[in-house]
Amino acid sequence: MNNDQRALLVEALDEVEGLRRLHYASGGMRTWTDKVKKLLGTVYGAESNEVRKFDTAPGKAFIVRTETGLTEEYYRKLDCYESVLKGIIEKG
């Protein structure tokens, strides 16, 4: 990963805080994850472990279909994506 690519990944990581302020149904997280997967694919290859780790980060969860449950699941997914992306950036 070169410095420009690293900067783009760090920028994407910084966007997580803004995503936390959005409603879970806004579509912002989907747009962001698509962008990050594309960037990771460019840096590491579309079939790389990094893309796979990021894509599957949230895993499966039991979601309570209430406003609170959906909001909590949104934050849980963001936390998972953030954690994996941090690890990928640190690893280089």
- Residue 11 to residues 2, 15, 17, 36: CA-CA distances in angstroms? 14, 7, 11, 10
Q: Where are the domains of the chain?
A: 3-91
- Helix-helix angle 28-44:67-91, to 10 degrees: 20
Q: What is the mean pLDDT of residues 38-56?
A: 97
pLDDT confidence band for 92 (50 / 70 / 90): confident
What is the rounded distance in angstroms from the CA atom of residue 74 to the CA atom of residue 92? 27
| pLDDT over 90 at 1, yes or no | no
DSSP annotation of 22: S
User: Which pLDDT score is estimated for 61?
Assistant: 83
Alpha helices in the chain (DSSP H): 3-14, 16-20, 28-44, 49-55, 67-91
Name the residue type at position 86.
K
